[in-house]
């Protein structure tokens, strides 16, 4: 879960890159020589027993190539970043401010799309959501030792929009937080949340994507995916094969890993704040029932292992199993938490939504 605008942007970047590469392919090679013959030409063609025109050993001995490879490795290692809470290392080279700018761009597009369906601020769900988000943000800030992350979270203009979505079958339940701190909750998800702990499950999961900068991680990996796709195309000559392999082997598992991490961080935040984290299991159970009903309806989606493999989101059953495995660890976190003594809302500086709720 759930739909992430920023992730879609990442995918379209890859698609754009692929299209660009395709254009170059058409201009310089495809009209003249079949892909198979490109390989033959590049590796075996000789003129009267003269030396081959292209020698891989010469290329490998090229010191500039060595500098490039060494520089790339140094750049990669320098930009390895540990995810908050889980400590998972990943490659992040794009600055936070650019992520926020991309969030601003997505936000203006979404406002244009949903401006007529924004539920008025008088709806009591706004107070409930801001109360939960204040607690989650205060706990997230207390839980990080990274001053850059703290400054980033405090600098964002956090805003909540509830979108009126009366027909859950046509517009499946959804919620997401943009990297610029704009929170979108579709009203169709509220009955599935059912209670405050269910709502905290959704909000903590979505906030965790932002705490771990998952959108930056996907954007940072795009050039690597493009290089891999291009190398696969150059070596096999099959258009589209490289994209499919890179998507199946790297991009989708990476997205699923981020989903798992968002669940893990979200449950930990809930445990620290004395939310009932067991409700996360119940929430996903209700979501599974909803998916089951949807599957049986006219909007049926295919559901088999192949689809799961190529899906960005983990199977809901698997998600529930993972959360159940974490329960002993979450119990320990909650027992050692001083959440009952938390006086978050006595402190106006810890309110991120303008008015004290």
In terms of DSSP H, where are the helices of the chain?
A: 5-28, 35-44, 56-61, 63-78, 96-114, 124-142, 147-155, 190-193, 196-211, 214-236, 241-246, 252-272, 279-296, 305-309, 316-336
CB of 284 to Zn ion, least distance (A): 12
CB of 223 to Zn ion, least distance (A): 24
Task: Tell me the two tokens of residue 23.
Answer: 């254009």
The window from 83-91, 242-250, 252-260, 269-277 that contacts Zn ion (CB under 5 A) reads 252-260
Task: Tell me the two tokens of residue 295.
Answer: 């599957």
Catalytic residue among 53, 171, 196, 206: 206
Between 99 and 259, CB nearer to Zn ion = 259
**How do beta strands 182-186 and 159-163 pair?**
parallel
Between 1 and 160, CB nearer to Zn ion = 1
The window from 17-25, 72-80, 255-263, 332-340 that contacts Zn ion (CB under 5 A) reads 255-263
DSSP state of 349: G
Distance CA 77, CA 92 (A): 10
The window from 161-169, 186-194, 262-270, 293-301 that contacts Zn ion (CB under 5 A) reads 262-270
Between 129 and 262, CB nearer to Zn ion = 262
The window from 64-72, 253-261, 277-285, 314-322 that contacts Zn ion (CB under 5 A) reads 253-261
Alpha-carbon distance values, 141 to 217, 222, 248 (Å): 20, 29, 35
CB of 189 to Zn ion, least distance (A): 13
CB of 217 to Zn ion, least distance (A): 13
Between 262 and 267, CB nearer to Zn ion = 262
Catalytic residue list contains 206: yes
Distance CA 103, CA 297 (A): 34
Element (H, E) at 182: strand 182-186
Between 1 and 137, CB nearer to Zn ion = 1
Q: Is 313 exposed, middle or buried (0-12, 13-18, 19+ CB in 10 A)?
A: middle
Element (H, E) at 184: strand 182-186
Residues in the interface with Zn ion (CB under 5 A) total: 3
Draw the binding track, 206-245, toward Zn ion (x: CB under 5 A; -: no contact): ----------------------------------------
CB of 347 to Zn ion, least distance (A): 30
Which sequence positions are flagged as catalytic? Answer: 206
Residues near Zn ion (CB under 5 A) are 1, 259, 262
């Amino acid at each position: 879960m759930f739909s992430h605008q920023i992730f879609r942007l990442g995918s379209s970047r890859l698609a754009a890159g692929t299209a660009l590469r395709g254009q170059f392919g058409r201009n310089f090679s495809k009209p003249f020589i079949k892909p198979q013959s490109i390989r033959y030409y590049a590796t075996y063609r000789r003129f009267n027993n003269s030396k081959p025109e292209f020698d891989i050993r010469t290329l490998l001995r090229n010191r500039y190539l060595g500098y490039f490879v060494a520089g790339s490795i140094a750049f990669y290692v320098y930009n390895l970043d540990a995810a908050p809470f889980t400590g998972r290392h990943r490659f992040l080279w794009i600055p936070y401010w650019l992520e926020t700018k991309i969030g601003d761009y997505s936000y203006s597009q979404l406002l244009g799309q949903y401006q007529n369906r924004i539920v008025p601020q008088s709806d009591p769900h706004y107070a409930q959501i801001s109360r939960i988000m204040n607690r989650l943000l205060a706990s997230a800030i207390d839980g990080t030792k990274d001053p850059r992350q703290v400054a980033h979270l405090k600098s964002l203009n956090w805003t909540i929009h509830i979108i009126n979505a009366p027909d859950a079958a046509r517009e499946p339940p959804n919620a997401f937080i943009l990297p610029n701190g704009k929170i979108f909750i579709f009203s169709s998800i509220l009955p599935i949340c059912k209670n405050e702990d269910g709502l905290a499950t959704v909000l903590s999961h979505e906030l965790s994507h932002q705490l771990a900068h998952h959108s930056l991680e996907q954007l940072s990996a795009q050039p690597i995916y493009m290089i891999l796709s291009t190398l696969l195309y150059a070596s096999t000559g099959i258009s589209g094969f490289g994209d499919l392999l890179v998507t199946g082997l790297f991009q989708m598992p990476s997205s699923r890993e981020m989903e798992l991490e968002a669940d893990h961080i979200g449950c930990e935040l809930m445990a620290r704040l004395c939310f009932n984290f067991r409700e996360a299991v119940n929430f996903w159970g209700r979501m599974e029932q909803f998916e089951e009903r949807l599957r049986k309806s006219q909007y049926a989606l295919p559901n088999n292992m192949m689809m799961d493999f190529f899906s960005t989101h983990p199977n809901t059953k698997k998600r529930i199993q993972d959360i159940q495995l974490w329960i002993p660890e979450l119990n320990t976190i909650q027992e050692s938490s001083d959440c009952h003594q938390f006086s978050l809302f006595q402190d106006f500086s810890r309110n991120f939504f303008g008015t004290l709720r």
